[in-house]
Structure 1
Amino acid sequence: MPASAHFKLWMKLKAEALKPSTSKSMPLEYPKEYPLEEEHTPHYNPRQYYPVEIGQVLGKRYEIILKLGYGTSSTVWLARDKKKLPWKKDQFVTVKVANTGFINILSAEQEKVALRYLAEANPKHRGYRYITKLLDDFTIRSPEGRHVCLVFEPMREPLWLFQKHWDDNKFPIPIFKRLVKLLLEGVDYIHTKGRLIHTDIKPDNILVGFENDQVLLDHIEKALQNPPPTKHTPYRTIYKSNNDFGTLLGPPKQLQIADFGLCFWADSVHPRQPLGQANRFKAPEAILRAPWSYSVDIFNLGVTLWNMLENRMLFWGRDPRTGRYSELCHVAEMIAVLGPPPRALLERSKRAKRYFRENGQFLAPNLVPHNLSLESTVVSLHGEERLKFLRFARRMLRWIPEERATAAELLGDPFLWGA
């Protein structure tokens, strides 16, 4: 990418000062009676979000250009690093602004410490390149308290959005195998060199990079000309995320495992410590409150394979009576797919009595779907390759945590190296 392209865009940003003008469209004002973006999140508290504004400079360095996304505990923004020379291609960054509140601050601080350690653990390891890198961090304040800000290089999109570029939102088999190898390399690095347990591996937390620098530059120019809708509230301006980078122009240059806000140091995990995970990705030990360790990440990745290969959830956990998620229904689906859990697991579970009788019999056998099995969920593979995949997946999807293969062991599986 020639330096002139970056310099040209920098001059445009400087001239327009990232403010509305007559030369470009005015942003649409979103109706106040309808929720926008983070207002949809569970237990939404508007006071906890920092009032980020387009054109604002955070940390005396990062000039906000547009909003990339949001969550229950943060918002994410594309910014220009004012300390970088305009012809440098790394002048653009992503700034994750954490909410106030003890849990949000703790999570952001935990992610900061974990990423700093992972950056230095062993850069020569193959999996090092597949872990997100923390470029900078700083703290800002609002009337409600402290906000931890983490700075990363910009990435194109999460894995679930990336796969929409293919037919039926499914990765072609060669690409699927390649991605799984890279993810296993990254998980192996997290486990063996970082001695960390991610605990939240899912498509939202796997990011892919840009195919080339021009994609990001073009996106910024379009955003300047067509500002996204906004909604003004008593606490702040809410912007609609602008994260559609258009048609894929080639293979992405990077893949990264991100969001370490819920990670744990393996040496610090207490055998009876509760484990919170995203509902439909929960490992058995998270539901049953049984001892857990590194292998929760392996189970999470095993579930993620179905999102990538079949564009579906392996486990829904949906209660047919309410339509909402239910751990009881989740366990019922696990029984259908994996068979009944071994007594050895139930005996060390704090919550086994919620779901099973003393003899190990499931309390709600009528909820076990009789038309569901691991085999029935795989329709994109056939013949010997399908059998190899099922054997590969079963090495990850085990009731007993210690029986799951490690990331290093899975990297040698025949399925990943077949034609």
Structure 2
Amino acid sequence: MSLSKLRFRLSNIFGASRLAPLKSANSRQIIEEPNFYEPGGFHHVSLGDRLSGKYTVLRKLGYGQYSTVWLAKDSQHQRYVALKILRADCYGGPRDIFEKEVLSKIALVSKSSTHEGRRHVSPLLDQFRHTGPNGNHVCFVFDVQGHHMDFQAAKYEDGKLPLQSVRTIARQLLLGLDFLHRECGVIHTDLKPTNILLELDNADSVISRYLSEVPPRMDSERDPPVPLREVITTPLLSEIKEPRIQIIDFGVASWRHHHLSELIQSPALRAPEVTIGAPWDTPVDIWSLGCLIVEFVQGFVLFSGKASKNGTWTAEDDRVARIMEILGPFPSSFLHRGTRTAELFDEKGNLHRIPDLKRTSLERLLNGTTKPFLKPVDMSDAEVPVFIDFIRGMLQIDPQLRKSAADLLEHKWLKL
């Protein structure tokens, strides 16, 4: 079967979410961050700008709903850094977040901790405030990282990452989450491929070479031209002997006992308890991780959702139906905890708008007996049940049945 036909069949079954190849981040982009360049919004940044007296902006690295990120040179320490500039309304306005407090707590705990997971959480190097025409902006300084996991997956024709690399990344992610959950009391709430970055080996020399060989990407159609996002060249996972990852972006992170918001996580990675409005804690990160590892190994999004064309069901209905088709019904004891249960389910635990489900199973889905999904070529028959058991420890509908990061770190699959 051709790749295009396979992706067509995948999109029909699992939705189109991230099945299409990701275009190179260094290709022409028409639209980047939202146009929040107004009072309370983004700070206008130009290449060559100098912030806090020592950070000279060199390139644009990224953007989000609440910030832009820039490659800068730190003249005090003679190193390259990633400079994240928040919207002015993130602090002292209607959009107060916990990022500054969470990053400060992680940095403080890291100083005295011996937990291995602290090395897989992007460390805060510095923070300061910058006043511009649109307001007062909180700024964070981090190490510069390489590709995120979506970018790496797009480099492989079938979207599947090398199995041994996934095993290494899974262990490092669990270490990072265990450190955040147990030592910092922090829930990331937004674990996704773009928030998992590869470390750069010999970062300063790699970045210096990149800057000397690659001219800045600029939107020359605007007057004056504005910088466009770039990605520092990073080897393929299969070419990295010992890949190391960093968990980044705590912009929507929450404390375990003080939540920023009750609606968290990307829809395709959203835990069942969040969907039904039940109490949630660190297991939401474990659910997202389980979904991600399946995505890294199999090359498709496990629980994407797509609304029906005639409006019979919503994308959320479809996503919940897919969870039930693979993992089984939502337990009644679990449904009773949710404030939104009645919106989705009837008294018998059936979905209101999608009553007829085509039952499959995680085993059938992952071991290739449900086509068009195929067992990874680098996974032996003996490894399949071990891998499925590992995934089942994360993908339990009831969060009370999910294993903790510490427990999962002892799993056999990580030691194969």
Normalised-by-shorter TM-score class: 0.7 to 0.9
* Conserved? CA contact 1:336–1:373, under 8 Å: no
Q: Distance in 2 between matches of 1:135 and 1:105?
A: 25
Q: Distance in 1 between matches of 2:219 and 2:407?
A: 49
* Conserved? CA contact 1:138–1:149, under 8 Å: yes
SS of corresponding position for 2:107:
helix
Task: Find the partner of 1:36 among 23, 31, 55.
Answer: 31
Deviation at 1:182? Answer: 0.9
Please identify the structure whose Cα radius of gyration is greater. 1
Change (3 A) 1:177 1:108: farther
Instruction: Give the aligned residue type for 1:46.
Output: Y
SS of corresponding position for 2:382:
helix
Instruction: Give the aligned residue type for 2:213.
Output: K
SS of corresponding position for 1:101:
helix
Instruction: Give the aligned residue type for 1:344.
Output: S
- CA deviations on 1:86-127 (whole Å, 9 max, x unpaired) are xxxxx1100011123247978786222212211232431111
Change (3 A) 1:161 1:290: same
- Give the structure 2 partner of residue 50 of structure 1: 43
* Higher helix fraction (1 or 2): 1
Instruction: Give the aligned residue type for 2:301.
Output: M
- Give the structure 2 partner of residue 352 of structure 1: 341
* Conserved? CA contact 1:37–1:70, under 8 Å: yes
Q: Distance in 2 between matches of 1:390 and 1:282?
A: 20
Task: Find the partner of 2:170 among 157, 175, 180.
Answer: 180
SS of corresponding position for 1:53:
coil
Q: Distance in 2 between matches of 1:252 and 1:94?
A: 23
Aligned residues: 372
TM-score, normalisation: structure 1: 0.81
Change (3 A) 1:325 1:199: farther
- Give the structure 2 partner of residue 230 of structure 1: 219
Change (3 A) 1:168 1:408: same
Deviation at 1:222? Answer: 2.1
- Give the structure 1 partner of residue 211 of structure 2: 220
Task: Find the partner of 1:156 among 146, 150, 162.
Answer: 146
Mark the runs of 5 or more structure 1 residues left unpaired by the alignment.
1-29, 86-90
Q: Distance in 1 between matches of 2:303 and 2:265?
A: 14
Matches within 5 A, 1:11-410: 35-39=30-34, 44-47=35-38, 48-85=41-78, 91-102=79-90, 110-121=98-109, 122-166=112-156, 168-213=158-203, 214-223=205-214, 226-230=215-219, 238-245=226-233, 247-248=235-236, 250-251=240-241, 254-269=244-259, 274-321=262-309, 326-366=315-355, 368-370=357-359, 373=362, 375-378=364-367, 379-380=375-376, 381-410=379-408
TM-score, normalisation: structure 2: 0.82
SS of corresponding position for 1:46:
coil
Instruction: Give the aligned residue type for 2:31.
Output: L
Instruction: Give the aligned residue type for 1:386.
Output: V
Q: Distance in 1 between matches of 2:92 and 2:411?
A: 39
Q: Distance in 2 between matches of 1:356 and 1:305?
A: 29
- Give the structure 2 partner of residue 88 of structure 1: none
* Conserved? CA contact 1:157–1:243, under 8 Å: yes
Q: Distance in 2 between matches of 1:160 and 1:263?
A: 21
Q: Distance in 2 between matches of 1:322 and 1:72?
A: 31
Instruction: Give the aligned residue type for 2:179.
Output: Y
Identity among equivalent positions (%) equals: 29
Deviation at 1:132? Answer: 0.7
Mark the runs of 5 or more structure 2 residues left unpaired by the alignment.
1-27, 368-374
Change (3 A) 1:337 1:321: same
- RMSD of Structure 2 on Structure 1 (CA): 2.7
SS of corresponding position for 2:73:
strand
Q: Distance in 1 between matches of 2:240 and 2:329?
A: 45
Deviation at 1:201? Answer: 1.0
